[in-house]
Amino acid sequence: MTTASDRKELISRLQKNILQWEGYKSPPAGTQELVGLGAVESAFPNGVFPLGSVHELVCSNTEQSAASAGFVTGLMSVLMQNGGVCLWAGLSQDLFPPALKAFGVEPDRVIFIRLSKDKEVLWVMEEALKCPGLAAVAGELKDIDFKQSRRLQLAVEHSHVTGFVIRNQTDKMGSTACAARWKIKSLPSEPVDGLPGLGFPRWQVELLRVRNGKPGSWIMEWSDGKFRHINMRMVEPQKLMVG
């Protein structure tokens, strides 16, 4: 006879399995984070950043698109630490490959593909996301619907490659099958050691939607080859209005 305790254990085991199928796999033993996003990772179910899933970054202008590209490059840098290459498909020529070095990514480890239509980017992304040899795939396009995003999600469920859809200058916010929806805005950097010039890249990171998680907003910086959480109270209020 099945007891209440047995049923509870079975449900708990099924929930853990579902989360793993969706990309929420626990960090390796001895570590607490998968990509070093600190407080941001705690917003996801079980505090686990979903790898092997598709993330959607929505942008309402060119500045947010550039900020999203920088943030994604930081994530790619982490995902490429154990080797592998990435693929980046897009409609524009805004991305400056040598700038990726600022995030520890050598441009020759990224396959760049320039296309002219959304459907071409989506096809390239879907085929690339089926390749387990890639560390990550990023695609810049204008719009994506639920059916198209579902095709990408099905592709990564077999390969466990992480995908990033950067929706440039879109005013449509329909539902998608992506694991999370982000909005990234650039923030003014802080001088390093009081010296003049630019400081480290800094963003306001908003997690707008995450399945079974807790959406929120954080300030993150890329310095010394990793992400760093910045206490929001330390940033002047007027700076939060940038972007």
Domain ranges of the chain: 87-178
Average of pLDDT values for 25-37? 64
Q: How confident is the model at residue 47 (pLDDT cuts 50, 70, 90)?
A: confident
Give 204-225 pLDDT, tens digit per residue.
Answer: 999 999 988 899 999 999 998 9
Residue 198 pLDDT level (bands cut at 50, 70, 90): confident
Backbone angles phi, psi at 220, to 5 degrees: -125, 155
CA distance 216 to 19: 20
Phi, psi at residue 196, to the nearest 5°? -70, 160
Measured between alpha carbons, how far is 179 from 194 in angstroms, rounded to an integer?
40
Residue-wise pLDDT tens digits, 153-191: 999 988 999 999 999 866 777 889 999 999 999 998 888
- Identify the band that residue 196 occupies on the pLDDT scale cut at 50, 70 and 90: confident
Residue with tokens 């990234």: 184
DSSP state of 191: P
- Global pTM reads 0.83
Report d(CA 200, CA 103) in Å as an integer: 10
CATH architecture of 87-178: 3-Layer(aba) Sandwich (3.40)
Q: Tell me the pLDDT tens digit for each residue of 92-147.
A: 878 889 999 999 999 999 999 999 999 999 999 999 999 999 999 999 999 999 99
Q: Looking at residues 14-20, what average pLDDT do you find?
A: 68
Asked whether the beta carbons of 219 and 187 are under 8 A apart, the reply is yes
Rounded to whole angstroms, the Cα distance separating 43 from 45 reads 7
Specify the residue for token string 């400056």: 96
